Amino acid sequence: SRLLKTTPCANDVRIELNFLLIDIFRQR
């Protein structure tokens, strides 16, 4: 979790994870 806090791209990573979750829900 420390890496996510130190990395400025943490927000981008969360956005990508959100898109992946959306794709999974769409498949179902």
Quote the pLDDT of residue 4.
Answer: 56
C-alpha angle with apex 8: 26 to 18, nearest 5 degrees? 10
One digit per residue, the tens of pLDDT, for the chain of length 28 reads: 565 566 666 778 888 899 999 999 998 8
HSE at residue 28, side-chain half, CA atoms within 13 A, is: 5
What is the rounded distance in angstroms from the CA atom of residue 4 to the CA atom of residue 11?
Answer: 9
- pLDDT of amino acid 16: 86
| Alpha carbons within 13 A on the beta-carbon side of 4 | 7
Instruction: Determine the pLDDT at residue 3.
Output: 59
How far apart CA 2 and CA 16 sit, in angstroms, is 19
Which pLDDT score is estimated for 13? 83
- What pLDDT score does 20 carry? 92
Residue corresponding to tokens 């990395």: 7
